[in-house]
Amino acid sequence: MNGADVDTGGGVGGTGVAVIADDHDRGGSPGRGPGRGPGRGRHGAGGRGRLTAGLRRRLVKRRIRIRRTRGRRLRRALVVLLALLANLVGAAVVAYHLTKIPEPHPETAMQSTVFVDDHGDYLGRRGPVDRQEIPLSQVPRYVQEAVIAAENRSFRTDTGISPRAIARAAWATVSGGDRQGGSTITQQYVKNALLSPEQTLSRKAREALISIKLDRTRSKDEILQGYLNTVYFGRGAAGIQSAARNYFGVDAKDLTVSQGAALASVINIPSYYEKAGSDPKVTAKLVDRWEWVLDAMAHSGAITSAQRAGARFPAFRFYPPGDTDGQRQYLIDAAASEAADRLGITEDQLARGGYTVRTTFDLTAQDATAELAADGTEKKTGEKTAAEEKAADAKAGGKKRAEVKTSGDVRVHTAVVALVPGDGAVRVLYGGADYASQPFNDARDGAVEAGTALQPFSGMKLLAPLTDLTRTAAPTPLRLASAYATAAAHGVYATPYTVAKITRAGRTLYEAHPRTRTAMTRADAGMVAKLLYGRLDAAPATRTGAAGLRTLWQTTYDEHLTLTVALFAEHPAKGKKAALPAPLPYTAGSRSLSVSEGVWSKIVGTAEGHDPAAEPNPGLPTGQTKPILATR
């Protein structure tokens, strides 16, 4: 029984268990009794728990997998990055080797030719740009260091580029911001002399490659020399040599510490700072930058503390400077023609060649001549001539001259030549007051009626090149002055010249030597002197000659200087009517005297007791009782 019960119970119980297990496994059946409700809720929460547990298991597995594969993925990323860098480096290496350092572009290679007087004072220039190349040895070390302090203090040690500046410029280009500077001196030289100034990424990249290559293949001094010869300083000046002349009137080799620091400070914004010296606001800002540059130089040891303490801001030449279209261009014309001939090149080649032409002119005397001759020279005047006044008296029948009008305007021309006897160096060559209105040089090319100015040479046996002098009715003032200079040199004729020396980049290409020959005997030369002096070995001789009332000549000479002044007048051209000769105004004599005395004293000083107006004037035309040359 017990076994049956057990079996039965077991069977029943087994059946029950089976049913319960089935229900449990299914989570309950909706159609079953209410007693199954609690069991159903517990089974639903368990399902959600299993889902959460599954998600956790998957996350854990993923984390484990990530940890296990992290090294492999990092290695793959590193390989990709290294491959990319290798490609970039390879491309840069290829680009570096393919990049060639270009030749300077034509605009940068152009130079101007500068003309200076016998003392080295600036006279003017010819050429498309105001630039002259000089070797670095002609730039004082402290000027070099001033530029480095102002523009690129790491220049001596950097690789030719500034990565930070390149990145800043690239970002500004991409973002559309303001253009960025900060380039090294090497980069600035590459941009200024070898590339265009456009602001693009490709140009900037090429600039960097060329700068690196330039730094590796050229010395720092070579790069600095190229930079100093091409960088723009304002006032139209490219390069340190032109800048030194434009700002201070000196050569680069003569710049002081203060002047060098000032020029270095200008490079930052040349179009603004070029007005320093004439604009107080600009000057004040430049002084601040100048102080900053000097402080950096003192800190680096480029200058001593004593030099820094003693530095004073230099005085700039007035800006804008005056042009040279006045009478100075006559001098430049004469010297340029002669210099080109001496070098065997054209005047255009001379202008673009970067030469320095040292002339024979005395600029102080030349400017004094311009001032003295300005009163009446190249100007229309209403003054009555001597002939007009005489005719006016007769026509007026005794009336006052003031009541009779003049016959028309008269333009008085003055030509002045001063040269060294026995040498031929021309000190003054005044051919007119205004080159712009009359480019023709009256002193060198003007044919002026000589009249009695040639009388001292009459009957003389003259040799070349004076052979036909007495048969020349209207010689140039330069030729007549040469004849009198021959007499002053005891018969030795010296070919007049205006170019003393020609140099380029510190190398002398030409140096003048007097070209002389005997053109008259020593005895004949003495006779000329006797006629002019009245006695030998007296004060400087003065000869006054004239061709009626149309021209007036006055020559003063001794063994050291010959000075000839020629005056003539004309009625200016009007419309299709050509200019016509006119009698000189009555004041022509006083003008000639003023010019002669003034120029003579400027060059050699006034000889004690010498009075040109008091000298005998045997050259007056026959029948002319009152000399045109006025007395004091």
The reported pLDDT for the residue numbered 29 is 44
The span from the CA of 229 to the CA of 223, in Å, is: 10
- Is pLDDT above 80 for 321? no
Report the SS3 class of residue 499: strand
Q: 126: helix, coil or strand?
A: strand
pLDDT in tens, 427-479: 999 998 888 888 889 999 999 999 999 999 998 999 999 999 999 999 999 99
What pLDDT is stored for residue 165 in this prediction?
Answer: 66
Nearest to 372, CA basis, from 318, 325, 428, 332:
428
Predicted pLDDT at 97? 60
Residue, of 258 and 95, whose pLDDT is higher: 258
Reduced to 3 states (helix: H, G, I; strand: E, B; else coil), residue 334 is: helix
Query: Per-residue confidence at 4, pLDDT binned at 50, 70, 90?
Result: very low
The DSSP code for 130 is: E
For residues 285, 287, 288, 292, the Cα torsion angle rounded to the nearest 10 degrees is 140
User: Nearest CA to 423 among 356, 286, 329, 515?
Assistant: 515
The number of CA neighbours under 13 Å toward the Cβ of 365 is 28
pLDDT at 241: 94
Q: pLDDT higher for 205 or 609? A: 205
The two tokens of residue 480 are: 């007549």
Higher pLDDT, residue 186 or 68: 186
Reading the block at residue 22, the tokens are 């089935």
Listing DSSP states for 83-97 in one string gives HHHHHHHHHHHHHHH
Q: Which residues of 77-90 are buried (b: 16+ CB within 10 A; e: fewer)?
A: eeeeeeeeeeeeee
35-46 pLDDT, tens digit each: 444 444 555 566
C-beta neighbour count of 19 within 10 angstroms? 10
Axis-axis angle for helices 37-98, 201-217 (nearest 10):
50
Which pLDDT value is given to residue 68?
74
The reported pLDDT for the residue numbered 629 is 31
Query: Could you tell me the pLDDT band of residue 529, with boundaries at 50, 70 and 90?
Result: confident
* Most confident range, picked from 92-101, 222-231, 384-393, 597-606: 222-231
User: What rounded mean pLDDT belongs to the chain?
Assistant: 79
